[in-house]
Amino acid sequence: MITKLKTAFLAVVMLCFIQLQAQTSLISGKITTKDGMPIPGISVKVKGTSQGVSTDAQGKFSISGANPSVLVISGIGYQTREFAFNGQPAVSIVLQEDQQNLSEVVVTALGVKREKRNLTYSSQEVKGEQLTQTKEPNLVNALAGKVSGVQITSSSGSPGSSSRIVIRGANSLYGNNEALMVIDGIPVNNDETGNLNSGPGTNRIADLDPNIIESINVLKGGAATALYGSDGAKGVIIITTKTGMQNKKPTLSFSSSLSLETPLLPEIQNKYSLGSNGVYFDGVNQKTSTSWGARMDTLKINGQPATVYDQSDLFFKTGKTYTNTIGINGGGASGTYFLSYTNLSQDGTVPQTSFDRNTVFGKFSTQILKNLDVTFSLNYANTKNNRLPEGYALESPVWTIFTAPVSYNLQPALNPDGTQRLYRFSRNNPYWVLDNISNTSVVNRFLPTFNASYKPLSWLTVTERFGADVYTEQGKYHESSLSVSNPNGRIVNSNTNFRQYNNDLIIGANQSFGDFNIDAILGNNIISTYSENAYANGLGITVPGFDNIGSTSTVKFTETSYLSRKIGFYLQSNIDYKKFLILSLTGRYDGTSVLARNNSFYPYGSAATSFIFSNFFSKEVSDIMSFGKLRVSYSTVGNASIGPYSLLTPYESQTVRNIAFPYQGQSGFLISTVLSDPNLKNERINEFEVGLETGFFKNRIGLEVTYFDKKTVNGIIPNVALAPSTGFNSTSVNTASMRNRGIEVLLNAKPIKTENFSWDLTLNYSRIRNKVLSIYNNLNQIGNGFTFILANQPYGVIYGTRYARNSEGKLSIGDDGLPFAADEQGIIGNINPDWMGGIINNFKYKQFTLSFSFDMKKGGDIQNNVDGYGYFYGTPKVTENRENRVVEGVNATTGLPNTVSVSGQAYYQRINSILESVIQDGTYVKLRNVSFGYNLKPTWLQKTPFKTLGIQVTGRNLWIYAPHFTGGDPEVSSFGSSNGSQGIYSFSIPTSRSVDFSLKLTL
C-alpha cells in the first residue's frame, strides 16, 4: 500500500514539474530598427510582473517569462510595443521611431539622458549644427539669441576676446555670475585670462572647437543644477560631444570655410580739421588733441585743398578667418570611434591681432563585457593669441584712431630722428604701436575623460567617471622704449599652470512597482583645483631689440598659487506615477577646504513636481492640444563665492615713504589692512519656479512659459569699513541680499511640413527684474569696478555726475549759457535690459536650406565713452553741428529761460565733464545670422567617391538697428566679462560684420 502511495506521489510531482516547465520559459530575442540595425538599451518587461532587462550592444536580450505571456518593449525615441510570446524559439522585434519624442531626449545634470516630457524644471537644448551654422569661433557667441533667460555680451572684436554668459540675471554682488561649463559630465574652467595690459582677455571655453559638439543643454534653475553643488548655482551649460556610430564603416568628413570681416565703427565726423575755435593746427608746429579747427571743404594747405584722411578706413583692414576640419567616425558591433582635427586661423581687423587654434579630439567607446561599457575621450587644444591694448590706456591704438583729426596723416609713424611722429602729446602713434607693442599668449590644454558603466543587474548601473582640465598659459607683453607711457620700455612675463581633477562615482537604479517607476541616483563627487602663476614685470629695456626680460634694468617678480578641494555626496530620486505625475527630489551635502571647519559642510537640495494633464484629454481635445504639463519646483543651493585663503589675513609687501620693499635686499611686510572674517560662509540662493509646457496639433506647435523668483541671501560684501581703532580699514561680511524675478517664453513651431518643403520657427522671450534688497546695516551704496551697487535698486545701475536741474526737471543753465553738473552725483542709467528676445527661422526646400535669426534687446543703458571723450576732442558725428546755439533750460540765477548763445565747441566740451550726457539707450534689433546652403542630391554622387557634398554662405551681424546708440555695436562691454566691466563702450577693437563661405563633404 505504501509503495502505491509513493508511486502516486511521484507521479503528481512529475506532472507539476512538467506543468511548471510548460508555463515558464527562457525568452530570447533581438530588437532592431526597420533597417535591421540593433538597438541597445531597450527595456524589455514581462507584462504584469516586475521582471525586466535591457538589450545589449547587439540588441539582444534574454528574460524568463510564462508561456504564453506578453512582452512590453520601450525605449527613448521609439514607440512602445507589446509582443505576444507563445513559445517561439527566437523572438525578432522591430521598433518604430517615435517622431514625437525623438527631439525631446536631452542630456541633463551628470550626463544623464532623460525625456524632456518627464523633466520637472526648465531647460533648453541647442543642437550642434545650429552652433556651427553661425560660424562663430567662440562657442559662447554662438548661443546668442537662441536661449530664453540667457544674456551674452561680447567684450571686443579683437580675435579671441572674451564673452560673458549669464543665466537669469546676476546672482552674486561680487562673486562670479557666469554659468558653469560642463563637457561630457566634467566641469571645466572658463576663466578670463591672457591680457597683460588694458582691455579684455580670453574666456577659456574659447579653446573648445564647436565642430565636435553634438548638443548643448542649458540648465537654468536650482532644481535643474542642484546635482552640481554650489558650482552650479549660476546655471549650467551641458556640452555633449559627438560620438561614433555602431556597425558603420569609417566615414571621412571634411569642411573648409573662409570668413571675411569688416569692423562696425562708431559715427565719426569728417568735416573739421585739427585745431581749436575754427583755427587750423598743422600738428607739427602747432599741436593739440582737438579737432575743433577749420572746415575741411574750405581749408587749403600749401595752396592746395586739404586731404581728408579717413583714419578708420586707413587703419582697419578686412579680417580673415580660415577654418578647416577633418573627422572620421564609425564603429563595429561592440565599439565606436570619432576623431577630429580642426585648424582655425583668424586675422583681426586691426593689424597684428590674431587668434590661432589647433584642436585634436578623439572619443572611443567599447563594450568590454556584456554589462560593462567604457568610453574614453581626449580633447587637446593649442591656442595662440596676439592682441593689442584697448580702452583708456595710453598705448591703445583704437583710442587715437577714433579721436584723430581727419586733416592729419598719421603715417609715417616716425620722425627722421627715430622718435614718434605725433600731432598731440600723451598718446602713442597707432602705427608705431603696431610695430612696437605686443601682447601674446600661448595656451596648451588637455581635457581627458574616462567613463565606465557597469550593470550588475538589469535595474542597477554603477558609473565611474573621471576627468581632468589641465592647461598652461605663457603670456608675454612687450613695449619698446620711446613709448609715451613707458619711455624706457617694458617687458612682462606671465606663466600660469592650472590643473583640475574631477571624479564621480554614481549608482543609478530604475525599477517599476506596479504603476510607479522609480529612477534614483546616489553619488559622490571629488574635485581638486590647483593654480599657479609666476609674474615678472621688467622696466627699462637696456638692449634695444632684445625681447628678453633679462635685458630690463628693474625686475619685480611675484608668485601666487592656490589649492582647493571639495567633496560632495548627492542623491536624486524621480518617482513617476502612470506617466503623468512625476516627483523629483534632490539633496546634496558638500564640504570645501576654503571654508572654516565649522562652516565647511553645507546641505541643500530641491523638490520639484510635474503633472502631465494631457494624459486625461479625450481624442477630440488631443487632436488640438496634444501635450500639456504643469511643473513646480523649489530649490535652495549654495553659491561658491569664496576663493581659497579668503578667510586668512595675510602679510603683504609694503611701500613706506616711496620706498618699495624689497629694498636693498631687505624684505618688508605688514599685516594686511583688510581683516578677513574666518566665519564667512557661502552665499545661498533660494528659487521658486513654475512652468507650463504645451503642444498643439501633434506637437507642430510647442509653447513653454516659465516664471521664476530667486533670492540670494548671505551675500558677501568685501571691504566694509571698520573703525581705525581696530587696526584695520575694512573687512568682509555675509549680509547682502538680492532678488531676481522673471518670465521666460519659448515657442517652437513647424508651420509648414511637406515632402519637399519645411519651415521651423523658434521664438524666445525673457523679462528679468533685479533688485538689491540690502547691503550691510545702514550702508546703501558700494562700488565694484564700473558697476555701482545701491540698495533698493537694480544690480548694475550707472552712477555719476548728472545735469543740474530745477524742481521741474529742466536743465539749470549758468550765466555763461552752459549747463553744469549737479552738486551731488546720482543714478543716471541702468545696464539691465527691459526684455530680450530672439527669432530663428529654418527653411528647407529639396536640397536647399535657408536660415536666419534676429535677436532683440529692449533697454539696457550704455556708457558711451567714445562719444564722452570725443565731445572734448570734437570727433563724434554729432559735433559736426558747430553752429552757435541757445541751450534749452532755465538760468540758474534768474529762473528765466536761458537766452545766452554759446558755440558748439563750448557746449560739447562742457558736457564732456557730465557723465549723464553719454548715457545711451542700448535698445537694438540684430539680424544676427543668415545662412544659405545647398547639398547635392545623393543620386548625383553615386559615381563619385563622395557620399555628401554641400556649400554654404553665412552672414553675421548683417544689419543692426540701434536708434539711440551712436557706437558701432551696442552689445559690447569693453573691459571684459567681469561684474564690474559691464555696460561700457570705450575704445575697444570693434566687433565685425562678416560673410563666410564654406564647403563640406564626406567620403
- DSSP string for residues in 871-893: HHHT-BGGGG--S-EE-SSEETT
If pLDDT is split at 50, 70 and 90, which confidence band does 263 have? Answer: very high
Instruction: Give me the residue label for grid cell 553665412.
Output: 954
Farthest-apart Cα atoms in the chain, separation: 145
Place of cell 563750448: 906
Facing residues of 713 across strands? 684
CA distance linking residue 149 with residue 188, whole number of Å: 22
pLDDT in tens, 705-731: 999 999 999 999 888 888 888 888 888
* Helix boundaries (H) for 859-959: 865-873, 904-911
**DSSP strands (E only) in 647-790:** 651-653, 655-656, 659-660, 669-671, 674-675, 683-696, 701-721, 730-753, 757-774, 781-784, 787-790
Q: Angle at Cα 602 formed by Cα 600 and Cα 606, nearest 5°?
A: 160
Task: Indicate the DSSP class of residue 819.
Answer: B
- For 35, 438, 695, the CA distances from 443, given in Å and listed in that order, are 46, 17, 46
The rounded percent of the chain whose pLDDT value lies above 90 is 64
Least confident of 67-81, 147-161, 379-393, 985-999: 67-81
For residues 284 and 482, give the distance between their C-alpha atoms in angstroms, rounded to a whole number. Answer: 18
For residue 46, what pLDDT is reported? 85
Say which residue the cell 598719421 belongs to.
Answer: 410
21 Cβ neighbours under 8 A, 6+ residues apart: none
Using pLDDT thresholds of 50, 70 and 90, give the confidence band for residue 113. Answer: confident
Please answer whether residues 221 and 234 qualify as being in contact, where contact means their C-beta atoms are separated by less than 8 angstroms: no
Higher-confidence position of 787 and 860 = 860
Bin 697: left if φ > 0, else alpha if -120 < ψ < 50, else beta.
left
CA-to-CA dists, residue 16 to 49, 68, 468, angstroms: 22, 17, 60
Grid cell at residue 17 = 514539474
The rounded distance, in Å, linking the Cα atoms of 500 and 504 is 14
Output the pLDDT for position 52: 74
At 22 the pLDDT is: 42
Question: What is the arithmetic mean of pLDDT over 242-270?
Answer: 92
pLDDT bucket at 98, cuts 50 / 70 / 90: low
Grid cell for residue 228: 552640481
In whole angstroms, what is the distance from residue 448 CA to residue 186 CA?
Answer: 9
Q: Give the confidence band of 941 by pLDDT, cuts at 50, 70, 90.
A: confident
CA–CA distances in Å: residue 84 to residues 141, 458, 984: 53, 22, 68
pLDDT on residue 403: 94
Q: Decide: residue 463, CB within 10 A, 0-12 exposed, 13-18 middle, 19+ buried.
A: buried
User: Taking 50 as the threshold, does the pLDDT of residue 21 lie above it?
Assistant: no
Give phi and psi for 121, each to the nearest 5: -145, 175
Q: What is the pTM of this model?
A: 0.88
Whole-angstrom CA distances from 669 to 337, 560, 652, 653, 656 are 57, 16, 5, 4, 10
- Residue 102 has a pLDDT of 40
Question: What is the per-residue DSSP string for 21-43?
Answer: HHHEEEEEEEEE-TTS-B-TT-E
Identify any residues that bridge with 120 across adjacent strands, giving them in sequence order: none
d(CA 226, CA 121): 11
pLDDT in tens, 677-701: 888 888 899 999 999 999 998 889 9
Over 80: is that where the pLDDT of 3 sits?
A: no
Res 4 pLDDT > 90: no
Q: What is the mean pLDDT of the chain?
A: 90
740-779, pLDDT tens digit by residue? 999 999 999 999 988 889 999 999 999 999 999 999 988 8
Q: Which of 840, 839, 855, 847 has the alpha carbon at shortest distance from 952?
A: 847
With b for 16 or more beta-carbon neighbours within 10 A and e for fewer, the 836-863 pattern comes to: bbbbbbbbbeeeebebbbbbbbeebbbb
